[in-house]
Structure 1
Amino acid sequence: MLRRGVGLTEVFFLCGAACLVVGLFLPQLLSVRESARNWGCQNNLRQIGVAMDAYHERHLSMPSGYAPSGYTIDSDGAETWGWNEPSYAWSALLLSDLGHPELHESLQIDSGDLPVAIRDPARANMLRFHVGEFRCASDRLGEAMDSAPLPRYQRSLDRGSGSVYAGASSYVGSAGYFELQHPFYLAPPNQWSKQFQKATGRNNGLFYPASRVHRRQIVDGVSQTIAVGERAWYQGGASWVGTANIRGVGVGDGGMCLGRVWWRINELPQSTTSEMTGQPPTLVTRQNGLTVSRPHTARNGFGSYHLGGGANFLMADGSVRFIDDQIDFHNTIPAEGANPLDPIPNIDKLGLFQKLGIRNDSLQTSEPASGAGP
């Protein structure tokens, strides 16, 4: 029996039908995949919340935002620690409670000797460890900060020639409303050092340098206060290990593991590129009604690649919520120059997002987010 060949018209028809099927179902498949990634991200945050509870039970406080070695506080309340000194972050302090006790012990995290770990080749290699609980599958950051595609987004923990790069993270602790470094340059001549030491790191979130926040200090209510939120690669990413310099103002310093609610969710730094966002930054900005910030500064914010325009947040009560980036938003202080020891001006005019990031503003808030996780 002779077989009839497939004609060119039939080939075109079959190709067109296949394209139609792909066009109909591909968006649904992508949506299902992103839904699974978003669920995984929320589950990560729940696990972090459980670990934080366990840590709080043992230490009667949340872990410090950064735990600098050589930390001292004098009778006048002035806090001191070394300049340009690497420090473990809240996320590293939770390793044992997250099920990584061997890594926690090997890095000697409780002793706060990150500078020593960096100089030890064996332990420095452990700093690159992939901690799954700190990685969202939707994020586009590499496994370690030096494996991100853009070299300028490498984050060194050591300023020496033998730089050490740390394992990447998709999550940062909420430091609150004020900037992460006190503006010592505003202090009177010859008085900046004492004022800087006394105020550096103080903030009104759950995490800041040398913080030890107890649940009773979350006076706004644990269900209405952000503990941890997402940080996207286009904002510079984050690390679970720590920072090269708590007091530094560079892109890899104070904001490395901490975020602040002064910035809108998904706000774009000027250095953002199409490779990082997946589409032109101007389009992302226009679609979300956002503005491009000054260089580097918005990397102290929160953001994600999730569909729907928002990010996942762990609240202080352990619940996880997806907060839309169009949430009510209003600042009453400039980006820089406000003293965290002074009262917030026009505090009653703060936006809902700002209120959620502050643990003690005593302002009433409504349901904090749309699309809350189960």
Structure 2
Amino acid sequence: MGIYGADRLVLGANKTGQLFRRMDRSRSKPRHGFTLVELLVVIAVIGILVGLMLPAVQSVRETARRLSCSNNLKQLGLSLQLYHDSHLRFPYGWDTRGMTWSGHILPQLEQNPLYDSLQFHETGAGNWAYNGGPNETAAGTVIGSLRCPSMNLPTHLSNHGIPERVPVSYRGNAGSLASSDDASTIVPGTRSLEHLQQNGIFYGCSQVRLGDVRDGTSQTFMIGESFTDPFFYKDGQAMDYWAIGSPSIDPCRCDGGTGGTEFSEVVGTTFAPLNARRTAPQLTGRQLELAFGGYHPEGAYLVFCDGAVHFLNDSIDDAIYRSLSSRNGNESIPGW
């Protein structure tokens, strides 16, 4: 007899007490489990499904990040318009104390206590290099609307004497004329950000009004995404961008004299192509650090003087791109 289904002899008695016997031919059922081949097939199917779903999940996440980035720029554009309504001009790009455009719109960004804490006079070694001062504390304060959610950087980094400085993702538009921070390293026929006359919206001691934007508010952008990466160096220049104030800018003068450097920390220009680090990596480090660019595939977001946010593709024509940064060039920009 086999292991399964063996006949069993069963003894019993009927109602009269007579013994009887019968054969119980019930069979126990064998148990079944997954074979190794079946298990491997299931794992393979799960792997294929995960592989098919992962791009869709990543696409949804990128869409959410892009929407958040666009909303940040929308908020910055609205804050600058509110500032203009109150002061009849946009804030300067920076001044002689290293204060920058983003510091001046803190009240419009609902950061009144932070703005009220700032010092607008020199103290110690300077407004932004004075260890432990309120301006240094402000430079280490995270403001969500100044940071693209796709920016994969630590919240705080030590930089130029500020131990907890906050890298940001957006810079002001200084125009198309400057090819470097400093006059000694410009491309012939261009100017540097030391010059106080630029054709954008924000630069040294600027006082641009909406009436000065003669090319049209829908044809001139104010703020653009910038691919912040303080760990990437070329020609001794890092791609580092910051908010509120800058110790490097502090020696700037508004009387036409030179002074200060690293103005590219707070403004960019369109001299270099959009996302030049990936579209024109052969350019010098000083030109790359001035370039606007985003963390999103194929382009970057900009907010225009009319408050509209547009996504510009990396392939945009250079002449059109530069025209969009000029406030008074009288350029024709058909169907950009």
Instruction: Please confirm whether the aligned pair reaches a TM-score higher than 0.5, indicating the same fold.
Output: yes
2:41 partner letter: F
**Is 1:13 paired with 2:12?**
no
1:262 partner letter: F
2-structure distance, mates of 1:99, 1:61: 20
In the TM superposition, what is the alpha-carbon distance from 1:252 to its structure 2 partner?
7.4
Match of 1:226 in 2: 221
In the TM superposition, what is the alpha-carbon distance from 1:240 to its structure 2 partner?
1.2
Match of 1:36 in 2: 64
Q: 2:273 aligns with which of 250, 264, 270?
A: 264
2-structure distance, mates of 1:97, 1:133: 12
Q: 1:352 aligns with which of 309, 313, 320?
A: 320
Match of 1:72 in 2: none
In the TM superposition, what is the alpha-carbon distance from 1:366 to its structure 2 partner?
2.3
Match of 1:98 in 2: 109
1:238 partner letter: Y
Q: Is the 8 A contact 1:310 1:325 kept in 2?
A: yes
2-structure distance, mates of 1:174, 1:22: 43
**Is 1:47 paired with 2:75?**
yes
Q: CA 1:312 to 1:2, structure 2 compared with 1: closer, same or farther past 3 Å?
A: farther
2-structure distance, mates of 1:226, 1:197: 20
Q: Is the 8 A contact 2:175 2:201 kept in 1?
A: yes
Identity of aligned residues (%): 27
Q: Choose 293-302 or 38-47, whichever is displaced more.
A: 293-302
**Is 1:173 paired with 2:162?**
no
Match of 2:315 in 1: 326
In the TM superposition, what is the alpha-carbon distance from 1:291 to its structure 2 partner?
3.6
**Is 1:294 paired with 2:305?**
no
In the TM superposition, what is the alpha-carbon distance from 1:258 to its structure 2 partner?
0.4
Q: Is the 8 A contact 2:194 2:204 kept in 1?
A: no
2:266 partner letter: C
1-structure distance, mates of 2:148, 2:75: 13
1-structure distance, mates of 2:152, 2:309: 21
Q: Is the 8 A contact 1:243 1:252 kept in 2?
A: no
1:27 partner letter: P
In the TM superposition, what is the alpha-carbon distance from 1:233 to its structure 2 partner?
2.4
Q: CA 1:207 to 1:112, structure 2 compared with 1: closer, same or farther past 3 Å?
A: farther
Q: CA 1:16 to 1:142, structure 2 compared with 1: closer, same or farther past 3 Å?
A: same
In the TM superposition, what is the alpha-carbon distance from 1:46 to its structure 2 partner?
0.5
Query: How is 1:52-91 mapped onto 2 (pairs within 5 angstroms)?
Result: 52-69=80-97, 87-91=98-102
Q: CA 1:60 to 1:39, structure 2 compared with 1: closer, same or farther past 3 Å?
A: same
Q: CA 1:182 to 1:299, structure 2 compared with 1: closer, same or farther past 3 Å?
A: closer
Match of 1:136 in 2: 148
**Is 1:215 paired with 2:210?**
yes
Q: Is the 8 A contact 1:181 1:254 kept in 2?
A: yes
In the TM superposition, what is the alpha-carbon distance from 1:367 to its structure 2 partner?
3.5
Q: CA 1:320 to 1:197, structure 2 compared with 1: closer, same or farther past 3 Å?
A: closer
Which entry has the higher C-alpha Rg, 1 or 2?
A: 2
Q: CA 1:107 to 1:199, structure 2 compared with 1: closer, same or farther past 3 Å?
A: closer
1-structure distance, mates of 2:71, 2:46: 36
2:311 partner letter: F
In the TM superposition, what is the alpha-carbon distance from 1:217 to its structure 2 partner?
0.3
1:352 partner letter: I
Match of 1:317 in 2: 306
TM-score, normalised relative to structure 2: 0.77
Per-residue Cα deviation, 1:36-89 (whole angstroms, up to 9, x for no partner)? 0000000000100111011001111011101223xxxxxxxxxxxxxxxxx021
In the TM superposition, what is the alpha-carbon distance from 1:244 to its structure 2 partner?
2.6
In the TM superposition, what is the alpha-carbon distance from 1:142 to its structure 2 partner?
2.2
TM-score, normalised relative to structure 1: 0.70
2-structure distance, mates of 1:61, 1:173: 15
In the TM superposition, what is the alpha-carbon distance from 1:128 to its structure 2 partner?
0.7
Match of 1:205 in 2: 200
Q: CA 1:201 to 1:38, structure 2 compared with 1: closer, same or farther past 3 Å?
A: same
Per-residue Cα deviation, 1:334-371 (whole angstroms, up to 9, x for no partner)? xxxxxxxxxxxxxxxxx100100111001111243xxx
Q: CA 1:135 to 1:198, structure 2 compared with 1: closer, same or farther past 3 Å?
A: closer
Match of 1:274 in 2: none
Match of 1:183 in 2: 183
Alignment size in residue pairs? 285
Match of 1:244 in 2: 247
Which consecutive unaligned segments of at least 5 residues does structure 1 have? 70-86, 147-154, 187-195, 269-284, 330-350, 369-374
